[in-house]
Amino acid sequence: MQRAAVELVTDLAVDGACTAGQAVRNRGRGALDELLSRGLAAVLTLPYRPTARSRRVERVPVVVLTRRGTSVARAEGVPAWKPPARKLAHVIGMSELRAVLGLDPRSLVRGADLEAAWVKAGVARQGVPDALFWSGREMVALEYDHGKYGAEQVRVKLETAPLVSDRLVWGVPTEGRARWLKDRGASDVLVLRVPLWPRL
């Protein structure tokens, strides 16, 4: 299997899903085609809301691992995560944030190491970051706010992040949401444009 295809398997194992546009942009059309032809991934056309408050629902091509793909990920040392369907927009946003920051999916902090960080910090469940990644010697906390976080939840996450990470990066779908977060004290906010196409 070509290296880019293996990397796409690990992306999908950690992120849970991505759009076909993200897969092609990040790893190349050849990698996606290889996963599809080998039965390691499937493309599902699913409903997607660009923001939590959006009335517009688009049907977009979403790439997910199959059972065979999950086995390949496990053989690569990356256990696959299957997100709940209701979290699709959040999952795609997190995938975009990780990719834009260039964070290696293998550097995700998981399992016992993640629980140890939470226990050490005395973190309450609502304050837990969406994900923690190692970037060199720096621990980076990621948050994706699709527009559902309330002011209190943001406050708790801002207070908690320094206890478990060196840097907190927020991803949001709109400039308005970025301003709202900055007004509440977030300093590192990226407005993300998730590639929803091509259709396959």
Contact between 66 and 39 under an 8 Å Cβ cutoff? The reply is yes
pLDDT at position 74: 96
- The structural domains of the chain, with segments of one domain joined by +, span 3-83, 105-191
**pLDDT, block means (10 residues), the chain with 200 residues:** 97 97 96 98 94 90 97 95 90 97 92 67 70 94 93 91 92 96 96 82
Structure tokens at 173: 């779908």
pLDDT at position 179: 97
pLDDT at position 121: 67
pLDDT at position 160: 87
CATH of 3-83, one of 2.60.40.10, 1.10.490.20, 1.10.10.10, 1.10.1060.10: 1.10.10.10
Q: What is the pTM for the complete model shown? A: 0.91
